[in-house]
């Protein structure tokens, strides 16, 4: 059957164009799913009651999916993901596997908080058992401010996937206020509390009316109000608390805290291994059997050492003073000494056999801590991933093992937009006629924004854009890694705030050619047919398995390119699934109505097949709102209103299309590159004359 030549419509032409191109290209489906809405409460469920789980819709398919999801839970894929902190400690102690943990404090400024959070992903790569976040009464620690302890700890759990301990103090808080903070912590997914009396705001401790004066009372209150929900840590003082009458009386108070329900102890800093060892033995003699973690302070500069000594009321050993004094004005020398001193201290502690793990007071300076851990052989970066996407540590997401691929480079955004779901897909995505994704209005919170300063973004993305080709150049530099005309490497894009994923390097040459021609790629994956799960680039999941992928491409491109692409796709109708949409939501897809397409799956010994990423046509319509908005919210906002640069970005936002392609024949060579090449060939053909058009 002959098809008429598609009309080339000018940029900015909307509504009828996409449908017309589809019909002229011989498409049999034109789908604008009527169920799609921007209402985050919208779902399908009998009786009209909302359920934010897209696998639990009211149709028979939805109910079937619900049963399968429960049965196909991947709890066995990574059992420790479901363990409580105290269970993780117990398992590691039984196996003799030493661990480490890291302490951070909330910065005073939002910029500092954003920087700290961006560093959590790097810290998580080294394998800490947990991190903890301190509580400062003067900083409104229980509020929703960017710099509050509650916010920082919540982000670490929910968006960075880190087991997190939140400090909670008695200082300046009534019992009612403490209870309120604990309820909020529970709601946010926090399951661990370090219960402390806290340092007085002034020189002397002042009792809060209706509050607690001692940490033991806080521990009792937590257990009374919340039962066994929280794992509780308490502080120990290897030389005794400065306000205690004696070392022996302080040990008695510590025993009371443990008896009241504490699960583990973290000690105050100390300088000599014998101090800690004697403390542990003394604890054992009075019946304290829970894990005791040594608090390791890294000397990084003279000022911080003085401050810590003042607050802790500890005496620095003379041999350390003798080393520090001659170099007190040389921060680099002090830092090097601090690393050497910490390594030596930790080696002696580990050799004692009394230490299950090491807890580092980082003071938000992690370079020295990482160096110490590397020298100790405890910093273990494993390139393999548990799942192909970043997991959350929120308890209600422990069973989650399926997500749409669209948010692969923006996992924090996906977690944010699905935070109100009560349940999450397990084993399969199911029929998602009405996924309830949260609105974008709050999607640019500080922890979802680019961590790169505006000045650096301008150097990377162009202080002034001259044409759409200037934008193409930015994408090309991102994929090539070569410096731009400013001598600056492009290390991020609005859709990906991090350098290229390692598997993208396998497609570098093809992606460069695509982007040079204005096919602006924001997501891709190669086809994979049975690679070992231990593969350093493509692997994920436990050892002994095999992983599979369908080739996937997602990109923005011009109306003219879309017109040619739809013509080319006629030849690949039964092999390639596609979805094309513009900013207004006018879209076309040849995917079965509302049916997801599994594009990543894995087979592991003794387990059912796991399919962690899908291309879901309904979710894509929600993702497109975010993907288009990033042109303006992240890139366009860098320029003055009505400036030529801003107008170029606005034009792309208004006129380009977002496209995704899936090659279903994963055992064969990826055909998507040929699809794109055929599209370019069609675009490069000279225009037909009227006579030639009549002949066709």
Could you tell me which residues are beta bridge partners of residue 358?
Answer: 100
**Would you say 560 and 679 are in contact if contact means Cβ atoms under 8 Å apart?**
no
Q: What is the C-alpha R_g of the chain? A: 29
Look at the block and give the residue holding tokens 């004066």. 213
Report helix, strand or coil for 174: strand
Q: Smallest Cα–Cα separation from 158: which of 195, 126, 117?
A: 117
* Catalytic position from the list 24, 80, 103, 469: 103
**Would you say 602 and 609 are in contact if contact means Cβ atoms under 8 Å apart?**
yes
CA–CA separation, 596 and 260 (whole Å): 51
**Would you say 591 and 675 are in contact if contact means Cβ atoms under 8 Å apart?**
no
Count other Cβ atoms within 10 Å, centred on residue 668.
Answer: 12
Q: Is 189 left (phi over 0), alpha (psi -120 to 50) or beta?
A: left
Longest dimension (CA), the chain: 104
Report helix, strand or coil for 529: strand
Q: Smallest Cα–Cα separation from 14: which of 468, 611, 654?
A: 654
Report helix, strand or coil for 50: coil
Element (H, E) at 599: strand 597-603
Report helix, strand or coil for 132: strand
Q: Residue 189's Cα: distance from chain center in Å?
A: 15
- The length of the chain is 696
Write the CA distances from 679 to 4, 156, 273, integer angstroms. Answer: 17, 44, 69
Report helix, strand or coil for 523: strand
Active site residue 103: yes
Report helix, strand or coil for 674: helix
Q: Residue 62's Cα: distance from chain center in Å?
A: 29
Q: Smallest Cα–Cα separation from 566: which of 694, 683, 695?
A: 683
Could you tell me which residues are beta bridge partners of residue 684?
Answer: none
Catalytic residues: 103
């Amino acid at each position: 059957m002959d098809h008429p030549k598609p009309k080339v419509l000018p940029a900015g032409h909307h509504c009828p164009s996409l449908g017309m191109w589809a019909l002229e290209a011989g498409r049999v489906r034109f789908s604008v799913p009527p169920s799609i809405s921007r209402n985050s409460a919208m779902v399908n469920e009998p009786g009209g009651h909302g359920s934010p789980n897209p696998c639990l819709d009211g149709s028979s398919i939805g109910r079937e999916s619900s049963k399968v999801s429960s049965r196909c839970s991947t709890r066995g894929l990574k059992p420790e993901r479901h363990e409580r902190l105290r269970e993780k400690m117990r398992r590691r102690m039984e196996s003799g596997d030493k661990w480490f943990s890291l302490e951070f404090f909330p910065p005073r400024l939002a910029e500092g908080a954003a920087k700290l959070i961006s560093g959590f992903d790097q810290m998580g790569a080294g394998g800490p058992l947990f991190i903890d976040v301190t509580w400062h009464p003067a900083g409104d620690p229980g509020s929703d401010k960017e710099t509050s302890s509650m916010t920082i700890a919540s982000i670490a759990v929910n968006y960075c996937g880190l087991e997190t301990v939140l400090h909670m103090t008695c200082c300046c808080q009534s019992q009612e206020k403490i209870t309120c903070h604990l309820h909020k912590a529970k709601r946010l997914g926090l399951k661990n509390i370090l219960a402390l009396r806290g340092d007085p705001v002034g020189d002397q401790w002042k009792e809060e009316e209706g509050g607690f004066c001692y940490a033991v009372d806080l521990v009792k209150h937590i257990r009374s109000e919340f039962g066994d929900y929280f794992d509780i840590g308490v502080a120990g003082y290897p030389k005794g608390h400065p306000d205690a009458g004696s070392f022996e009386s302080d040990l008695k108070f510590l025993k009371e805290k443990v008896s009241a329900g504490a699960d583990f102890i973290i000690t105050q800093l100390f300088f000599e291994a014998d101090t800690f060892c004697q403390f542990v033995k003394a604890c054992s003699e009075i019946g304290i059997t829970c894990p005791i973690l040594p608090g390791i302070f890294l000397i990084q500069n003279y000022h911080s050492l003085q401050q810590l000594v003042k607050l802790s009321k500890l005496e620095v050993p003379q041999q350390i003073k003798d080393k520090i004094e001659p170099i007190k004005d040389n921060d680099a020398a002090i830092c090097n000494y601090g690393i050497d001193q910490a390594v030596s201290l930790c080696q002696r502690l580990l050799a004692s056999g009394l230490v299950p793990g090491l807890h580092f007071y980082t003071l938000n300076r992690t370079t020295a801590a990482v160096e110490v851990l590397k020298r100790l052989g405890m910093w273990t970066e494993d390139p393999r991933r548990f799942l192909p996407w970043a997991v959350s540590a929120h308890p209600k997401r422990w069973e989650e093992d399926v997500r749409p691929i669209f948010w692969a480079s923006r996992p924090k955004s996906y977690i944010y937009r699905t935070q109100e779901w009560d349940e999450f897909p397990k084993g399969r995505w199911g029929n998602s006629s009405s996924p309830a994704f949260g609105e974008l209005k709050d999607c640019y919170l500080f922890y979802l924004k680019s961590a790169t300063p505006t000045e650096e973004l301008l150097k990377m993305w162009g202080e002034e854009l001259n044409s759409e080709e200037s934008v193409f150049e930015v994408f090309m530099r991102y994929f090539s890694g070569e410096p731009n005309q400013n001598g600056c490497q492009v290390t991020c894009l609005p859709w990906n705030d991090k350098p290229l994923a390692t598997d993208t390097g396998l497609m570098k040459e093809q992606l460069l050619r695509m982007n040079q021609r204005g096919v602006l790629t924001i997501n891709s994956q190669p086809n994979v047919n049975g690679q070992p799960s231990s593969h350093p680039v493509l692997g994920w999941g436990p050892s002994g398995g095999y992983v599979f992928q369908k080739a996937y491409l997602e990109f923005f491109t011009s109306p003219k390119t879309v017109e040619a692409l739809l013509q080319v796709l006629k030849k690949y109708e039964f092999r390639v699934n596609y979805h094309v949409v513009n900013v207004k939501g006018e879209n076309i897809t040849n995917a079965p109505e509302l049916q997801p397409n599994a594009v990543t799956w894995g087979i592991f010994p003794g387990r059912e097949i796991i399919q962690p990423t899908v291309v879901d046509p309904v979710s894509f319509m929600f993702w497109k709102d975010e993907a288009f908005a990033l042109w303006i919210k992240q890139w366009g906002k860098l320029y003055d209103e009505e400036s030529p640069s801003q107008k170029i970005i606005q034009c792309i936002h208004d006129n380009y299309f977002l496209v995704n392609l899936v090659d279903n024949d994963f055992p064969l060579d990826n055909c998507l590159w040929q699809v794109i090449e055929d599209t370019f060939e069609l675009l490069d053909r000279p225009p037909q004359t009227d006579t030639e058009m009549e002949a066709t």
